[in-house]
Amino acid sequence: MPFSKFARFDARPLALAFALGAVFLIAPAFADGKVLATIDGQPITQDDVNVALEDIGPGLPQSLEGAEREKYVLDYLIDLKLVARKAAADKLDSSPEFARKAAYTHDKLLMEALLGNVAKSAATEDAERKVYDEAAKAQPPQEEIHARHILVPTEAEAKAALARIKAGEDFAKVASEISKDPGAQGGDLGWFTKDKMVPEFAEAAFKLQPGQVSDPVKTQFGWHIIKVEERRMKKFPPFEQVKDQAARYVVQKAQSELIAQLREGAKIVRNEPPPAPADAAKPGDAAKPADASKPADAAKPADAPAEQKKP
């Protein structure tokens, strides 16, 4: 179930966190100082391997498991430390570029640590159940139907299809043979609520009882014959089914609020260069005066039409 099913909040302050592709639901870490290898007397511990796994683990082949996976990561750490030691001896860590990247990595790790702490504090069952209860209250049970349809270009073809069905042919068989909707096998549209279809289709479909077939119905997509298979009331899913999504929502909301609070308490100044003139990149237009009465986006509609729902 998408987050939109839960109470909405402004997630824009989380742009920094989401740019890193994580919500920072961090699991507890357990210290393990077991020494797995040494390099000139310097130890590499199980903790070091665990940190490396967090970094490179998602990119490792799935076939690499167990002891083989641990060995791969340990070998990676040995090579990493040897190469890093050589780079330090060559003073590659003294450049301004290295300092910038090190500062960025330092800040990123601090951000992850803080947002991880927020996640641990926020994701309580009480908070999750509160979000769930609010979402369930906002979405009362809705009627939904399981239906099939046949889509053809003309009314004459729709009437011909309806005649075959009334003569006893199987609806799904006729749909498979002539329907122009390739996404519905045997015309099967599955379960849907009334708001999921274009109005003309929805009005006709929801008047039918299970087993009934409609007369030809015209929509912007063509002509339809509709058969309703089942009707039921769609209920909000139980808490256990959406618990993980409720937890993610609670964490996102807490992190978003923290970042919004930090922004409000800081003086942020953006030093951005002025935008280039619209025609500056077009050679040969230098002598052509700009039309001051026409804004740059005059040809662009302010609001694009909403995507039409298709049965």
Task: Return the pLDDT at 15.
Answer: 47
Question: Does the predicted TM-score (pTM) go above 0.85?
Answer: no
In this structure, are 146 and 84 located in the same domain?
Answer: no
In this structure, are 81 and 151 located in the same domain?
Answer: no
Identify the domain containing residue 147 by its residue range: 140-234
Q: Which of 84, 108, 133 is the last residue of a domain?
A: 133
Would you say residue 70 lies in a domain?
A: yes
Would you say residue 281 lies in a domain?
A: no
In this structure, are 225 and 162 located in the same domain?
Answer: yes
In terms of phi and psi (left: phi > 0; alpha: psi -120 to 50; beta: otherwise), the region of 33 is alpha
Would you say residue 167 lies in a domain?
A: yes
Phi/psi at 44 (5° precision): -120, 120
In this structure, are 158 and 180 located in the same domain?
Answer: yes
In this structure, are 71 and 163 located in the same domain?
Answer: no
Q: Which of 169, 199, 234 is the last residue of a domain?
A: 234
pLDDT-derived band at 197, boundaries 50, 70, 90: very high
Would you say residue 202 lies in a domain?
A: yes
Cα torsion 280, 286, 288, 291 to 10°: value is 30
> Looking at per-residue confidence, does 244 or 298 come out higher?
244
Who contacts 46 (Cβ-Cβ below 8 Å, separation ≥6)?
32, 33, 34, 36
- Give dist(CA 129, CA 125) in Å, integer: 6
In this structure, are 152 and 175 located in the same domain?
Answer: yes
Query: Could you give the percent of the chain with pLDDT greater than 70?
Result: 78
In this structure, are 75 and 18 located in the same domain?
Answer: yes
In this structure, are 102 and 12 located in the same domain?
Answer: yes
Residue range 263-281, pLDDT digits in tens? 999 999 999 877 776 655 5
Would you say residue 144 lies in a domain?
A: yes
Residue range 9-49, pLDDT digits in tens? 444 444 444 444 444 544 445 567 899 999 999 999 999 99
DSSP letter at 26 equals: P
Task: Return the pLDDT at 46.
Answer: 94
CATH of residue 167's domain is 3.10.50.40
Task: Return the pLDDT at 278.
Answer: 64
In this structure, are 178 and 117 located in the same domain?
Answer: no
Would you say residue 273 lies in a domain?
A: no
Would you say residue 109 lies in a domain?
A: yes
The count of structural domains within the chain is 2
- 193-199: average pLDDT: 94
Q: Which of 190, 216, 234 is the last residue of a domain?
A: 234
